[in-house]
Amino acid sequence: MSSWLLVRHAETEANLLRRYQGWTDSALTAEGHAQEARVLARLSSIPVQAVYSSDLPRARRLAESIAAVHHLRVQLDARLREMHFGRFERLSYAQIMAIDPATASEWYEQMWDRRPPGGESAKEVFVRMQACMSAIGQATAGSRGSVVVVSHGGPLRMWLAWTRCADARQWSRIQFARGEIVPVQRSADTG
């Protein structure tokens, strides 16, 4: 049986500045480049059958590098994207609270069901992530090597919360560092 190798993209400038980047791109930091190099070193000797990735550049670039080592093509899927933070993108928590404290407070307290203005709820992110992972599981059923999935902190933590405790709403309790690889054994439940 094969395993999933879940990979979170490396550190970006927006991460360093503690800004919500969502669907907005941001350049890698020096540490981000070092994280990518460590991911590539770790995955270079592991048999990989397929590489899937968010289509956002910070994830796609890493996935393309992983795929190149294994002579594979990356399968891009927008359902693996980070949460869309709408008009809160590119802003820090302090900036959001200064601009619209009432809306921001409601969103923070009810993030699972509530959308930021122009964005999407955590539940919507999980639903698309779950559909994507199910499709990847079906497409790679029977493969013997690992299936690499490169994505973002929010969606990956939601999916891990669902696989570990059957409740994606517990996603904020899951730790998943930038540039980290988390193996998950595939099963009927995980694909």
Query: How far apart are the C-alpha atoms of 86 and 135, rounded to whole Å?
Result: 27
- Residue-wise pLDDT tens digits, 150-175: 999 999 999 998 988 878 888 888 88
**Catalytic residue (one of 11, 36, 70, 82):** 82
Q: Annotated catalytic residue: which of 9, 70, 84, 152?
A: 9
User: Given a cut of 70, is residue 191 above it in pLDDT?
Assistant: no
Q: Is 70 a catalytic residue?
A: no
User: How many Å apart are CA 74 and CA 57, to the nearest integer?
Assistant: 13
* Sequence-separated contacts (24+) of 180-185 with Cβ below 8 Å: 180/7, 180/8, 181/5, 181/6, 181/7, 181/39, 181/42, 181/43, 182/5, 182/6, 182/7, 182/156, 183/3, 183/4, 183/5, 183/6, 183/146, 184/3, 184/4, 184/6, 184/160, 185/1, 185/3, 185/4
Query: Which residue matches tokens 């669907």?
Result: 23
State mean pLDDT over 72-93.
95
Give 124's pLDDT tier (boundaries 50, 70, 90): very high
Give the pLDDT score at 166. Answer: 78
Per DSSP, 79 falls in state: G
What is the pLDDT, as a whole number, of residue 15? Answer: 87
Whole-Å CA distances, 162 to 64, 81, 97, 134: 27, 17, 30, 13
13-19 average pLDDT score: 89
Where exactly are the structural domains of the chain? 3-185
Q: Higher model confidence: residue 88 or residue 186?
A: 88
pTM: 0.93
**Which residue did the predictor score with more confidence, 170 or 85?**
85
Superfamily assignment of 3-185 in CATH? Phosphoglycerate mutase-like (3.40.50.1240)
Which contiguous run of DSSP H or E holds residue 163?
Answer: helix 153-165
DSSP state of 55: S
Question: Is 33 one of the catalytic residues?
Answer: no
* Tokens linked to 63: 């996935």
Q: State the Cα–Cα distance between residues 62 and 144, nearest whole angstrom.
A: 23
